Amino acid sequence: MNAKIGVAALLWLWLSRVLPACGQGLKVGDRLPPAFWQMPLEVAGGKPSIRLREDGRQLILLDFWATWCGPCIRSLSRLDSLQREFGPRLLVLPVSSDPPEKTLAFMAKRKLGLPPVAANDSLNAWFPHRYIPHYVWIHGGAVAAITGSGAVSRRAVGQLLDGGGAGLSTKDDRTDFDHRQPLFLKGNGGDGSQVKYHSLLSGPIAGLNRMQSVPGEGATGLHSRIFAINCTVPELYRMALGAALSFPANRIVLQVSEPPGPVGQGKKGSPSAMEKEDTYCYELLVPPQTAGRIRAHMLADLDRYLGLRGGMEERPVDCYELRAGRPLGSSGAAPEANIYDPRASRIRIVNRPITVLAEYLNNHLPRYVIDSTGLKAPVDLSLPNMERAGFDLLEKSLRAYGLRLVPVKRTLPVLVIRDGAGSEP
C-alpha cells in the first residue's frame, strides 16, 4: 500500500511540473513547452513508447476518439488516407480512451495503419475536452488549431503545411458544464442570452415587493416578457386571462379541493391562504408575439405547474347595486382619495367620480358592487374605513348621502379557478 502511495505521489509531482500552470490546458497559439516533447506516449500492442519531436516541416494531428463514437469511427478512414497521402509531413496520432488491447483489435480489423496511442492523464490535461472527436493541430512548435471532425480535410492540411494557415474555427468545449444541474443557473452553460423560450415558477423572493408586468386585454404590438413577483394564485390567473388588476376578489370563484401550497414546501394551503398569503414568482420569455398569445402561454403554464384550471365564465352573481336617491356635489377642492390606506380612520373621496367609491367597496365587500347611481359629476364623501368598521356602520353612513346598497342578482364574467385534470366543470 505504501509503495502505491509513493508511486502516486511521484506521478503527481511529475504532472505538476509538466502540466500548464494555469490548469486550463493549452490554447490555439500557445507554444508547446519542452516538457511536452519529453512526454512518453504509450502505443497499443506492446510497441515501444514514442516521443514527439518539434519539426517545423511536420504537422501533428492528435485525434482524441473512442471505439464507441460513431463520428470518430467515420473519420478514421479519412485520417488514414491523409496520412498515406502526405507521408512524413503529417503525423496522425489517434488517442483512444479505450483499453489498448480493444483499440489495437479495432484498428487491425479495419486495416488502419495509424499508430493507436493510449490516452493518459497528461495528454488529456494538456488538451482538456468534453466531446469527441476532438482534434489538436500542432505545427511549428505551437497549437495551430483545435477543431471538430468537420474541419479535417486535405485542403486544410495542405494549407497549414504550406504555411498559409487554414483559417479553422476553434472547437471550444464547455468543460465547466454539468449536465446534472439546471441550464444557465449559476452560469451552467452560459449566461442564458441564447435562450429562445423560457418559463419558470418559484416560491416567493424575500425582500421584494409584489410587482407584475403583463400586456392587458387592449394591448397592441408584440410582446416578449411576462413576469410576476410575489403574487397570489388569483393574481397570476388574472394576468393570464387579461383581467384588469382591479378585477375584484368578489368576482373570483375558487373550486379547489386541495389548493397548492408554496412551491417546494410539499404541503397544501387553505383557500384563504391561496387568495392572500401563498405567493409565487413567475416569468415567461418568448419570441415577440401578440398580447393574447403570450398570455395564452402563461395560462397553459399556470394550469400545468399548479395542477389547476383557470378561465372566465358567465355566471349568475349575488351583487349589490349602488343607487343614489339625490344628486351629490363637490367642493371643487384638489382631487384626492385614500381608499388604499388601511391606517386611515375614515375614507375621504374629494372631487372624484363615484366609481372610486365602487372600487373601494369591491375591495372590501363579499358581493360585487355595480354602480347604478347615474352620477357623472365628481363627489365629496367621508365614510368609516371598512378596515376598522363593520358593514352596518358603512351602510348607515351611505344613507346619510342618499346612497343605498340594494341586493340583486346579475349574470357577470367571473374568474373561476378549479382543480386540474379530472375535475368536474
Q: Is CATH 3.40.30.10 the right assignment for the domain spanning 19-161?
A: yes
Q: What is the pLDDT of residue 239?
A: 92
Q: What are the tens digits of pLDDT across the range 305-316?
A: 999 999 999 999
Q: What is the mean pLDDT of residues 66-89?
A: 92
Q: How many residues does the chain have?
A: 425
Calculate the CA dihedral of residues 381, 382, 387, 393 and round it to 10 degrees. Answer: -100
Q: What is the mean pLDDT of residues 59-88?
A: 93
Higher-pLDDT residue of 269, 167: 167
Q: What is the pLDDT of residue 193?
A: 87
pLDDT of 376 over the 60 cut: yes
Range with the poorest average pLDDT among 139-153, 194-208, 239-253: 239-253
Q: What is the pLDDT of residue 20?
A: 42
Q: What is the mean pLDDT of residues 238-242?
A: 91
Among 181, 280, 187, which residue's Cα sits nearest to residue 227? 280
Of all residues in the chain, the percent with pLDDT exceeding 70 is: 87
Higher-pLDDT residue of 345, 269: 345
Q: What are the tens digits of pLDDT across the range 392-408?
A: 999 999 999 999 999 99
Average pLDDT, the chain: 85
Domain ranges of the chain: 19-161, 198-303, 317-417
- CA dist 242 and 293 (Å) reads 11
Look up the pTM and report it: 0.66
Q: What is the pLDDT of residue 425?
A: 43
